[in-house]
Amino acid sequence: MTNFPVLILGARSDIGNAVAHKFASLGHPIQLAARNASALETCKADLELRHGVPVTLHEFDALATHTHKAFVAALPQLPQIAVCVVGLMGTQSENERDTEAARLIMRSNYEGPASILSVLANCFADRNSGTLVGISSVAGDRGRATNYVYGSAKAGFTAFLSGMRNRLAKLGVQVVTVQPGFVATQMTEGMSLPSKLTAEPSEVADAIVRAVELKKDVIYVRPIWRFIMLIIRNIPERIFKKMQI
């Protein structure tokens, strides 16, 4: 893997920070993009000191989709790899009661990420090279009562990445779908998560780098999730609708 720039979209997240450190440790210049990007100055300094690579900060709002073309055009260099870690979980109970809260979850997990990756996809296709990485979720593999608003947005994003991969494969652009399962982050803090099914952000970062290097299409960070979701997807609907999972 040559040392082209890597763009991290949603760089303020725990996973985004871990991904930045992993690629920086391999010698890649890093572009950190997030809302209130100036708050990432400490992270920038840490990456530069620890890994000796140049790091730039870029103001980015995933929900301000009308700004995405200008955001990409303003980057100092078009990245070779772009990793979209943008997402918002919320709570199912709130999303059921509050349509605006539900809309924010849908936009944060589908509309915003799909919009920015669409802009980057066109730039990468014109260049005939590059890798786009989207963080989706096993929650999108089948709608469940406990998180169907979040899961539906992730299902849409998974389908989007699949279609984009099909479109761009012949143009020299790789598209990777990442299904992390549970991850120990600030977003899941306070939740009771099974340790054998819960990855650390650094584990997600390692899996992403391996997927890029090996030109994988879809990865489950912990392979056991592939089998768990296979079982869940194949439960007959007459039984599934009586379950609470």
Number of Cβ within a 10 Å radius of residue 221: 23
CA distance 245 to 243: 6
Tokens of 145: 């009562």
Whose tokens are 């929900």? That residue is: 63
Is 150 catalytic? The answer is yes
117-120: list long-range contacts, CB under 8 Å, 24+ apart.
117/82, 117/84, 117/160, 117/161, 117/164, 118/68, 118/164, 119/68, 119/69, 119/71, 119/72, 120/7, 120/72, 120/79, 120/82
Query: Hey, what are 7's tokens?
Result: 């763009």
Among residues 110, 148, 150, 220, which one is catalytic? 150
Distance CA 70, CA 83 (A): 18
Question: Which residues participate in catalysis according to the annotation?
Answer: 150
